[in-house]
Amino acid sequence: MSEAFASVVLALADDELVLGHRHSEWTGWAPHIEEDVAFSSIAQDEIGHAGNLYTLIARRTETDADALALGRAKAHYRHATLCERPNRDWAYTLARHWMYDTADDVRLEALQGTADPELAALVTKMRREERYHLLHADAWLRRVSQGPVEGRTRLIEALHETFADAVGLFEPLEHEEMAVKEGWLPVPSDELRTRFMARASAALDELGLPTDIHTRVAEQAEFVASSSGDLIADDEPAAEGVTPDATAGGRAGRHTGDFDQLWDDMTFTYRNHPGATW
Amino acid sequence: MDVYEVFRRAGHKDPYEHCGAVIAPDPEMALMMAKECFVRRREGQHLWVVRRTAIHSFKDESLLDIAADKSYRFASAYRDVVSKREKARTRAAQIEDGTGE
């Protein structure tokens, strides 16, 4: 199996697993019981997608999905930082849910054209569930954005932060050039990012929500989204010499302390009971 | 005139089930019509009418299709938990009385 192919699948799988895990932390705590069930289902969907993607890789590398999902060292996970952030409040969780699923839709739409037929079929299946995630996220975002001032204020703050982090979903993948050349990734990450920025900005604009973002990439440089959807350096000197590698975070296995806690929880049973089945 | 969807149930422990629709100018008249159209032969003891415009559905009902494996939402997926628990109990007892590891 091509390393570049594995890189495309693992980045996607790790995003879904880690975000699914965060979502699942709401189980029992969501604002009301019906939403608790709905959001828990979304968490299960995301983890289910991760499971399918890990299985795809596992079958070709003679390992198993659990080993990939739960048996890797932290630095081997390739999810974007957005996915590992703690849930904080419901506004933050919603903003992230919306950003992630909007970005995921852009990415999955492109991946339906991947050169690997099995991955293409899986992505098509995933998108059938992701449609509901998008509707759910949109419905909530619209309500909170038009609701009382406290919720709106919290949401706006959360959108600023999550929009910045969402850009990290489109950091170049490991072996990105090869993945594009071999057709596993039909659209390069920077083009996907441009599409995402345009789509998210237009949607937020329509809701009267702010679309300007200030993002700190790998704590090294400030970027601002331009109207074209491209990132432009906010601060010229700081941005100079920033290469794609230097700006890469999650996709290069560089995670924040938030992932330490998440990984400890998520892999606890697997680490303490080798060979356990569930 | 509006369309009212009619629901009836046989007894107070049964669920309301949709049985048809009537056209009426208001809820009161809808009930008058529905009684004779749908419970004239003792088909039910309770009757609801709901203005059709008050009923909401997904525009695209394929959203309700289950796309992926959801076996974990069914009790049957956890059948082996009983035997696993038994095994665990036996092992715990063995460890306690010193016959296990």
Q: How far does CA B2 lie from the centroid of its chain?
A: 27
Q: Which residue on chain B is closest to A40 by alpha carbon?
A: B73
Q: Which residue on chain A is closest to B63 by alpha carbon?
A: A132
Of these ranges, A92-106, B58-72, B85-99, the one predicted with the greatest mean pLDDT is A92-106
Q: Determine how β-strand A214-217 pairs with β-strand A231-233.
A: unpaired
Task: State the nearest Cα–Cα gap between A41 and chain B, in angstroms.
Answer: 10
* Spatial separation of the C-alpha atoms in residues A59 and A68, rounded to whole Å: 11
Distances (CA, A) of A267 to A23, A260, A270, B49: 16, 11, 5, 53
pLDDT value of position A230 = 54
Question: Is position A223 within any domain?
Answer: yes
What tokens were used for A158?
């959360």
| B2-53 residue pLDDT tens | 999 999 999 999 999 999 999 999 999 999 999 999 999 989 999 999 999 9
Is A135 in the B-facing interface, judged by CB distances under 8 Å? yes
- CB contacts, 8 Å: B69 with chain A: 48
Task: State the nearest Cα–Cα gap between B16 and chain A, in angstroms.
Answer: 22
Could you list the residue range(s) of the whole structural domain that residue A209 is in? Answer: 3-272
What tokens were used for B101?
């590891």
Is A273 in the B-facing interface, judged by CB distances under 8 Å? no
Which of B69, B81, B83, B91 to mutate against chain A (most A CBs within 10 Å)? B69
Count of domains forming chain A: 1
Q: How far does CA B86 lie from the centroid of its chain?
A: 34
Is B68 in the A-facing interface, judged by CB distances under 8 Å? yes
**Residue A46, C-beta contacts closer than 8 angstroms, at least 6 positions apart:** A16, A17, A19, A20, A23
| Residue A111 CB burial class (10 angstroms; 0-12, 13-18, ≥19) | buried
Q: Which residue has the higher pLDDT, B100 or A200?
A: A200
Q: Which residue on chain A is closest to B72 by alpha carbon?
A: A44
Q: Which residue on chain B is closest to A277 by alpha carbon?
A: B84
Percent of chain B residues past pLDDT 70, beyond the cut: 98
End-to-end alpha carbon distance in chain B: 79
Q: Which residue on chain B is closest to A46 by alpha carbon?
A: B68
In 10 A of CB A42, how many CB atoms? 23
Taking one residue from A and the other from B, the number of pairs with CB-CB distance under 8 angstroms is 21
Which of A54, A124, A129, A269 to mutate against chain B (most B CBs within 10 Å)? A129
- Per-residue pLDDT tens listing for chain A (278 residues): 899 999 999 999 999 999 999 999 999 999 889 999 999 999 999 999 999 999 999 999 999 999 999 999 999 999 999 999 999 999 999 999 999 999 999 999 999 999 999 999 999 999 999 999 999 999 999 999 999 999 999 999 999 999 999 999 999 999 999 999 999 999 999 999 999 999 999 999 999 998 876 554 444 444 455 555 555 544 443 333 333 444 459 999 999 999 999 999 999 999 999 888 77
Q: Are A129 and B67 a contacting pair at CB < 8 A?
A: yes
* Spatial separation of the C-alpha atoms in residues A61 and A52, rounded to whole Å: 14
pTM, to two decimals: 0.85
**Residue A195, C-beta contacts closer than 8 angstroms, at least 6 positions apart:** A106, A187, A229
Is A40 in the B-facing interface, judged by CB distances under 8 Å? no
pLDDT value of position A231 = 56
* Spatial separation of the C-alpha atoms in residues A211 and A213, rounded to whole Å: 6
Question: Is position A278 within any domain?
Answer: no
CATH classification code of B2-54: 3.10.20.520
* Spatial separation of the C-alpha atoms in residues B87 and A95, rounded to whole Å: 45
* Spatial separation of the C-alpha atoms in residues A127 and A109, rounded to whole Å: 8
Distances (CA, A) of A32 to A35, A38, A110, A150, A202: 5, 10, 35, 18, 30
- What are the residue ranges spanned by the domains of chain B? 2-54, 62-96
* Spatial separation of the C-alpha atoms in residues A152 and A248, rounded to whole Å: 31
pLDDT value of position A235 = 45
pLDDT value of position A1 = 81
In this structure, what CATH number is given to the domain that contains residue A264?
1.20.1260.10
